[in-house]
Homo-oligomer: A and B are copies of this chain.
Amino acid sequence: MKLNIALLAGDGIGPEVIDQAVKVSDAIAEKFNHEINWKPALTGAAAIDAVGEPYPDETHDICMASDAVLFGAIGHPRFDNDPSAKVRPEQGLLKMRKKLGLFANVRPTFTFPSLLDKSPLKRERIEGTDLVFLRELTGGIYFGEKGRRDEGETAFDNCVYTRAEVQRLAKKGFELAMTRDKKLCCVDKANVLETSRLWRETVQAMEKDYPEVEVSYEFVDAVAMRLVQWPNSYDVLITENLFGDILTDEASVISGSMGLMPSASLGSDIGLFEPIHGSYPQATGLNIANPMATVLSAAMMFENFGLQEEGKAIRDAVNSALEQGIVTEDLSENGKSYGTSEVGDWLAKNI
């Protein structure tokens, strides 16, 4: 295959972890006879500094001309405690999601046998956890009208969903469930929110098209609890944008493998693949960031092109590295650890 991949390294540790995913992907290309054309482009605080815009038009053009986007991380603390900042890295992320039509954020949470004891949860609570969140990514309160009234004394954010938006996300959820344990949980707050009632009634109406899928409906507060109690009771969960933001981050911790969790954002023809972790500014340039989540995001990218073997080759390399202790300091057991780029080199060599 000939693949054009937009490469959006972003901020903080983004560039370092992206470098490793590139190495590993290049090794895959060589082994499986693909040709990858990397197209680097600016995003996040890095793009604000360079051109005053977190998702510049040139970057969008590069993405649109590519087959997929590999993304690092964005965000810089200098923007966080400044409520008055006019341009923020996060705006770039939201604009990108919207303009690329990435309405479904796929976030798996699974365990690695060798890492079970890293979890804050007891082993018996997480063993066997293998769930996937499908988070709606281009609607809801993130994108509704927002602003101030009364000379700034009143602020508002509008949460809006259409039935069509719910349907296309739920459809992906049902389809994904069919390839897995055939359980789908619709997470909402239908006892309070009208948007949630629309979600629930829309999903209910779709149940008949997937008679094999066992569908449950749970309130977001109950899921926030059960995720910590019995994460392994879930299979596929679908939810709206803001609930998904909160719950996917919560879920990422319970597996004990947060630094290893990849994600995909899908919708249009062009998928975006990124680690779930943030830009981790304190670690920037120190060659200590764990590149595995980004490397596994590249695996999801190959799999999304239908290249299952390529994805598996990456996953196998990551598993071997974990078993053999070729890990960054966050996962080190015995004091021995490797740098970001050493882990990347090892993975590339072991493809």
A interface residues (Cβ-Cβ under 8 A, vs B): 75, 79-81, 83-84, 88, 90, 94, 120-122, 125, 141-142, 144, 146-148, 150, 152-164, 189-195, 197-198, 200-201, 204, 217, 220-222, 224-225, 227-229, 242-243, 245-250, 252-254, 258
Contact B221 A245 (CB under 8 A): yes
Rounded to whole Å, the gap between the CB of A77 and the closest CB of chain B is: 11
* Known pairs A153-B163, A156-B160, A229-B120; A224 contacts B195 (CB<8 A): no
Contact B192 A142 (CB under 8 A): yes
CB-CB nearest in chain B for A155: B198
Contact B161 A155 (CB under 8 A): yes
Rounded to whole Å, the gap between the CB of A254 and the closest CB of chain B is: 6
CB-CB nearest in chain B for A162: B154
Contact B156 A191 (CB under 8 A): no
Contact A155 B194 (CB under 8 A): yes
Contact B194 A221 (CB under 8 A): no
Contact B189 A242 (CB under 8 A): yes
User: Dominant SS at the A interface?
Assistant: helix
Q: What are 21 pairs between A and B in contact, CB < 8 Å?
A: A80-B217, A81-B217, A83-B190, A83-B204, A90-B192, A94-B192, A121-B121, A141-B193, A144-B156, A146-B193, A148-B194, A154-B162, A154-B198, A155-B194, A155-B198, A156-B159, A156-B161, A157-B193, A157-B195, A221-B246, A227-B250
- In the complex, A191 Cα to B94 Cα: how many Å? 11
- In the complex, A220 Cα to B125 Cα: how many Å? 24
Contact A225 B200 (CB under 8 A): no
Rounded to whole Å, the gap between the CB of A261 and the closest CB of chain B is: 12
Contact A90 B163 (CB under 8 A): no
* Known pairs A190-B83, A220-B246, A221-B249; A197 contacts B228 (CB<8 A): no
CB-CB nearest in chain B for A200: B83
- In the complex, A278 Cα to B189 Cα: how many Å? 15
- How many subunits of this chain does the assembly comprise? 2
Within 8 Å CB of A193, what residues of B? Answer: 141, 146, 157
Within 8 Å CB of A155, what residues of B? Answer: 160-162, 194-195, 197-198
CB-CB nearest in chain B for A191: B90
Within 8 Å CB of A225, what residues of B? Answer: 249-250, 252-253, 258
Within 8 Å CB of A83, what residues of B? Answer: 190, 197-198, 200-201, 204
CB-CB nearest in chain B for A244: B221
* Known pairs A190-B83, A193-B141, A250-B224; A158 contacts B161 (CB<8 A): no
Rounded to whole Å, the gap between the CB of A187 and the closest CB of chain B is: 10
* Known pairs A217-B80, A224-B247, A229-B120; A162 contacts B153 (CB<8 A): yes
Within 8 Å CB of A141, what residues of B? Answer: 141, 159, 192-193
Within 8 Å CB of A162, what residues of B? Answer: 150, 153-155
Within 8 Å CB of A195, what residues of B? Answer: 146, 155-157
- In the complex, A221 Cα to B164 Cα: how many Å? 27
- In the complex, A95 Cα to B350 Cα: how many Å? 62
- In the complex, A152 Cα to B197 Cα: how many Å? 11
Contact A80 B190 (CB under 8 A): yes
Rounded to whole Å, the gap between the CB of A150 and the closest CB of chain B is: 7
Within 8 Å CB of A163, what residues of B? Answer: 152-154
Rounded to whole Å, the gap between the CB of A298 and the closest CB of chain B is: 24
Rounded to whole Å, the gap between the CB of A274 and the closest CB of chain B is: 15
Within 8 Å CB of A84, what residues of B? Answer: 201
